[in-house]
Structure 1
Amino acid sequence: FRLDVPGTDVTFGLNAFYDYVWYTGLISDTSAPSHSQAGADMHAEMNREGVVEFDVADAFARSDRPRDIGLGVAVISLYNQLSLTAPIRPGGRAFEIRPHGAYTVEFFGAYSGIPAGIGPCPAGTCPGNPSDPSVNDYQNYAGGLDIHWKFLPQTALVFESNFEGRSYFHPDGTVVPPGKILKLLAGAQGLVTPKIQAILKAGYAIGFDGAASTFIGQGELTWNPNELSAISVGVLRDVNNAVGAASATDLRFYLNSKTFLSGRLALHGNFAYDLIAFTQGRGQNDQLFSIDIGPDYAVARWFILSAGYVFSKRSSDYAQSLPLNYTRNEAYLRLTFTY
């Protein structure tokens, strides 16, 4: 469900969803892990015409996709992030200073009905009880300052900075303590031609308390053959906190596309391949591959019917079994209502 309340000086938006994940039992002979998922993203922008704008956003989700990349399958994640941004535009809208901050919590639980030994905890990440991932419940805090300068109407030079830290709600001496990370990026983003957009940013992440210090950045090209279609290809390198390690470095290659075939029918396709390296603690290297393809049909302006197939696979040299080594096949049907 999507709700948009546009306005000149104040805007508000809400995206909410409910999913029921049904395990068919065709392979595992059990449908016990079937479960409900739900979430909502809310945002509000205030004083948009003023020198100082105030933006507030909150993202909440209960799902089987943990935001922390250190965990694998068989985990239920309860995630919430509150973020605040105050864009400052002195003397016009071409130059913008954006102080920002975020507070995040994520709580973990196990699937019901799964056999012992399958998960949800990778070895060494759930001391005391390998079937209880709640020992990894955490809070993240982040803050920084971004600067955008539009030297052309649709193109800007950017500088981005962010400091990230983490603490666990149930600290345990046998678990690797989290690191802290300062990220600095500079580059440009915007239109190259009327139909091509580009993002090019490069920088460095400075790690503290065992976190990795390494180069980070992003390069992306987006082609818009028409107003309703877009194809994006890119590469992203980033460092974040991770369960069981001081940090995790993720090198991602991705392709996202949505193309209208005829009339109201569109086809979407999303592909991603990740190479992940963990520092301290686990010291492992993982690979993730995912692809999502399917049609979208606009029944009406306010109602979209979507279907798709998702294939995902993860392999790890840290453990040779679940929950870090798995193959997942999913078919889905989605109804989207916009008001």
Structure 2
Amino acid sequence: MKQSGKFWGGWSVLALLALGGTAMAQEPAAAPSTGGNGFKVGSGRLHPYFELETRLDSGVGYFAGPGVDPATGGVSPDLSGEFAMHFRPGFRLEVPSSKLALNLAGNLDYVLYTGLMTSNSGTASHLEGAADLLARLNPDAPLSLELSDQFARSDRTRTVAIGAGVLSLFNEARVKVPWKPGGGAIELAPSAAYAVEFFEPLGALSPVDCTDGTCNPLTADQFDYGNLHFGLEGRWRFLPKTAVVLDTGVDLRSYFNGGSPDATVLRALAGVAGLVSPKIAVTAKAGWGQNFAAGGSGTFLAQLEGTYLYSPTLSFKAGYLRTMEPVAAYGVFTDNRGYGEVRALFGGKLTMRAGGSVDFLSFTAERSDTVINLDIGPEYQFRPWLTGAAGYMLGSRSSSVTGGGLNYSRHEGYARLSVTY
């Protein structure tokens, strides 16, 4: 089933427990953190911005070589590189209120493949975008309501079983009811969400040696899915800066085109989160995950994360996460993930950051993948309304399944200039 030309989202939430809880990384709408006065909207401000980004990308998609007809060429030996331009207008709206607080960020991103490195890539130029909405009703009351939505269209899919060269359209709508009985020492937050993701190929070819449907971008739309999630988060602050935390949820995953087995995945974790010292914060949780669908299995889950605030301008974070999630083609997968990040601020204007992760993915049917990600670079605030950034990103993947779409290294260098009012 192909996605419609227009997609309407609902509501979702982007809030986490104040003292713990780390989810799988996703891609919310990016918005510059600085700007001028903006436009006054009620008690808040609207900040429009524009970003111009140049990106040298070694793995855009699969395209026919010079003089090759895509209709008859069949396959491509490697991911094609390209020099791309991103034209990204957007806005950020923040309206604080004790009755109805609103946060909204969004952008449109036109990705222009210049054809300087791959002659036939220009036909794959496309529109991307992202939007995040969070509405909080009575946010300071013991019982409040949060409604939000996250939307993203990009070449970074959330479905880890699928290979490279795929464009993803994702939306998640969520409702959450935070409840703080008895003065706030205990917090409970039941939630419900519904997400969909649709896929389409970026190029016109499939990779050579592709023996599995997950590595062929031309057939990725068979994995379009809907995911219904029910969750409960809890926290009991038994000391001023330490709490017992609870994170439970169940995902009901179904696929629109019958390309994958459905899954019903229950996860439950409990642990502690808080400050070990004035500069060190730790979260430690353990639990169990179980797939109740046909042929289901269970596994141990865990998270251990530490943050070290060396100084007000230098911080370190590192952690380990083991989780089970529903996934296309295989039903479920298990991820053992190690990650780390360091951030430093110099002179109040120059920010240096470096982050990386290694994921060991285990699927059913004896498939296993290793995914390595690295993102490093500086950002400098020239003026309150003008910010520049540059960086390098590495995405490397190796799989026990053969095929170019699942075995590759993607190098990206970028430079970005942001103007914000």
**TM-score for the superposition, normalised by structure 2:** 0.72
Structure-1 residue corresponding to 2:250: 163
1:116-164 deviation per Cα after TM superposition (whole angstroms, max 9, x unaligned): 4459x871359xx972321111000110222111122332111111011
Structure-2 residue corresponding to 1:5: 95
C-alpha separation between the residues in 2 aligned to 1:269 and 1:192? Answer: 24
1:208-251 deviation per Cα after TM superposition (whole angstroms, max 9, x unaligned): 12344101111111112233432110011111111110101111
Given the superposition, is the C-alpha separation of residues 122 and 79 from structure 1 closer, same or farther in structure 2, using an over 3 Å criterion?
farther
Structure ranking higher in helix proportion: 2
Structure-1 residue corresponding to 2:190: 99
User: In 2, are the aligned partners of 1:211 and 1:279 still within 8 Å (CA)?
Assistant: no
C-alpha separation between the residues in 2 aligned to 1:336 and 1:91? Answer: 46
1:304, distance to aligned residue in structure 2 (A): 3.2
1:22, distance to aligned residue in structure 2 (A): 5.3
Give the 5 Å matches for 1:156-305.
156-171=243-258, 175-209=259-293, 210-280=295-365, 283-305=366-388
User: In 2, are the aligned partners of 1:212 and 1:248 still within 8 Å (CA)?
Assistant: no
C-alpha separation between the residues in 2 aligned to 1:34 and 1:332? Answer: 17
Given the superposition, is the C-alpha separation of residues 190 and 109 from structure 1 closer, same or farther in structure 2, using an over 3 Å criterion?
same
Give the 5 Å matches for 1:51-130.
51-112=142-203, 114-117=204-207, 123-125=212-214
Given the superposition, is the C-alpha separation of residues 99 and 22 from structure 1 closer, same or farther in structure 2, using an over 3 Å criterion?
same
C-alpha separation between the residues in 1 aligned to 2:312 and 2:419? Answer: 21
Given the superposition, is the C-alpha separation of residues 69 and 116 from structure 1 closer, same or farther in structure 2, using an over 3 Å criterion?
closer
User: In 2, are the aligned partners of 1:203 and 1:216 still within 8 Å (CA)?
Assistant: yes
* Structure 1 spans left out of the alignment, 5+ residues: none
Asked which structure has the greater RCO (Cα within 8 Å, sep 6+), the reply is 2
Shifted more, 101-110 versus 40-49: the winner is 40-49
Q: Please list every run of at least 4 consecutive aligned residues from structure 1 whose deviation after the TM superposition is greater than 4 angstroms.
A: 20-30, 335-339
C-alpha separation between the residues in 2 aligned to 1:323 and 1:158? Answer: 39
How many residues matched? 329
1:36 aligned onto 2:123: no
1:312, distance to aligned residue in structure 2 (A): 0.8
SS in structure 1 of the partner of residue 183 of structure 2: coil
User: In 2, are the aligned partners of 1:122 and 1:323 still within 8 Å (CA)?
Assistant: no
1:318, distance to aligned residue in structure 2 (A): 1.3
**TM-score for the superposition, normalised by structure 1:** 0.89
1:237-280 deviation per Cα after TM superposition (whole angstroms, max 9, x unaligned): 11111111010111110011211133311111110100000024
1:101, distance to aligned residue in structure 2 (A): 1.1
Given the superposition, is the C-alpha separation of residues 122 and 271 from structure 1 closer, same or farther in structure 2, using an over 3 Å criterion?
farther
1:282-339 deviation per Cα after TM superposition (whole angstroms, max 9, x unaligned): x3000000101000112334543222110111000112x2211111111223345667
RMSD (Å), alpha carbons: 2.4
1:49, distance to aligned residue in structure 2 (A): 2.2
C-alpha separation between the residues in 1 aligned to 2:264 and 2:221? Answer: 22
1:176-201 deviation per Cα after TM superposition (whole angstroms, max 9, x unaligned): 41221110100111222222111111
Supply the AA of the counterpart residue of 2:212: A
Given the superposition, is the C-alpha separation of residues 122 and 65 from structure 1 closer, same or farther in structure 2, using an over 3 Å criterion?
farther
Supply the AA of the counterpart residue of 2:235: H
Given the superposition, is the C-alpha separation of residues 212 and 303 from structure 1 closer, same or farther in structure 2, using an over 3 Å criterion?
farther
Structure-1 residue corresponding to 2:407: 325
Of 383, 392, 396 in structure 2, the residue corresponding to residue 309 of structure 1 is 392
